[in-house]
Structure 1
Amino acid sequence: MKKIIALGIIALSLAGTASAQVKPEEQIKYRQAGYSFMSWNMGKIKANLEGEYNTQQVQAAANAIAAIAGSGMGALYGPGTDKDIGEVKTRVKPEFFDPANGPDIGKIATNFNTAAAELAKVAAGGDKAAVQKAFGATGETCKACHDKYRME
């Protein structure tokens, strides 16, 4: 577990280097686009769980979520992305950028990546009940970050 947390912290610490190539306002736009795309795919899975279950649609959506979750989204939280920039608005709380919260954020990010990868793995098996459980776990990891670090 400590190894996973350490990897999450390392990923967040490398974010500053990778983000140097992208303007802060673009980082905000890109991360919002990534989260919007994941949300859309979560909606597709939810619709399948509540209605007619289509294994291929669920697999595709779960794979998209896992791919974005594992893509290094932490790089889009670089310096200057902690506040609105002109017309580009952010809902990330300032506490997210406090270095003292780094271990907590690393843990939350790692939990999300792990849950998203597990969702994709379970979706590949086609078991609706297992997908329901993994879907719930993935949603809880989203909520964990929103509850602490996202403004309404």
Structure 2
Amino acid sequence: MKKIIAGAAFGIAALSIATSAAAQVSVEDAIKFRQAGYAFMSWNMGKIKAQVIDGQPYNQDQVAAAANAIAAIANSGMGALYPAGSDTGTGFRATKVKPEFFQNMPDVGQLAGSFNTAANELAAAAATGDQGAIRAAFGKVGETCKACHDKYRAK
């Protein structure tokens, strides 16, 4: 329970702090940067999935590097890339963030905190090389992604 509360508090704090940093980039650049971050995380999730879930040859160093990249992006302050007004606009493509995202910041903060926690747990599991632990942590990361997408990402 303490982890959940700490994760939610961290997520809300990160979003609050990030809001002041958001003024440093245009809305269009913010959308591009977050799209790039999510694309890079997706690519790294794919590498882990291929090796730990789909049965391709396993390379602990590659899986650990992918998990570390995901955790680094998760902890990078991506909340700064959601300035007001970035529910419309185009980065590399039109944004899919719903306006409801900006109306529910406590919930968004909790989701972000859960994602950060799960990403850090994935990196820790990957460092051990225990494929069962990696598989479980990978599933938790996917669940946190889905939780946010289901609420705040347009189809």
TM-score tier after normalising by the smaller chain length: over 0.9
Structure 1: gaps of 5 or more residues: none
- Tell me, yes or no, if the aligned pair for 1:53 and 1:128 is still in contact at 8 Å: no
The residue aligned with 2:50 is: 47
The residue aligned with 2:77 is: 72
Q: Secondary structure of the equivalent of 2:19? A: helix
User: Following TM superposition, by how much is the alpha carbon of 1:85 offset from its aligned partner in structure 2, in angstroms?
Assistant: 4.5
Q: Distance in 2 between matches of 1:103 and 1:19?
A: 18
The residue aligned with 2:35 is: 32
Out of 108, 120, 125, the residue aligned to residue 122 of structure 1 is 125
Letter in 2 for 1:128: Q
Q: Distance in 2 between matches of 1:4 and 1:131?
A: 20
The residue aligned with 2:88 is: 83
| Number of matched pairs | 150
User: Following TM superposition, by how much is the alpha carbon of 1:61 offset from its aligned partner in structure 2, in angstroms?
Assistant: 0.3
Q: What percent of counterpart residues are identical?
A: 63
TM-score (structure 2 length as normaliser): 0.92
Structure 1 residue 133 and structure 2 residue 127: aligned? no
- Tell me, yes or no, if the aligned pair for 1:108 and 1:145 is still in contact at 8 Å: yes
Letter in 1 for 2:97: V
Q: Secondary structure of the equivalent of 2:126? A: helix
TM-score (structure 1 length as normaliser): 0.94
Structure 2: gaps of 5 or more residues: none
Structure 1 residue 113 and structure 2 residue 116: aligned? yes
Task: Indicate the RMSD between aligned Cα atoms, in angstroms.
Answer: 1.4
Structure 1 residue 19 and structure 2 residue 22: aligned? yes
Structure 1 residue 103 and structure 2 residue 110: aligned? no
Letter in 2 for 1:27: A
Q: Secondary structure of the equivalent of 2:61? A: helix
- Tell me, yes or no, if the aligned pair for 2:15 and 2:80 is still in contact at 8 Å: yes
The residue aligned with 1:62 is: 67
- Tell me, yes or no, if the aligned pair for 1:25 and 1:88 is still in contact at 8 Å: no
Change (3 A) 1:124 1:14: same
Q: Distance in 2 between matches of 1:86 and 1:70?
A: 22
Q: Distance in 1 between matches of 2:70 and 2:8?
A: 21
- Tell me, yes or no, if the aligned pair for 1:96 and 1:105 is still in contact at 8 Å: yes
- Tell me, yes or no, if the aligned pair for 2:32 and 2:91 is still in contact at 8 Å: no
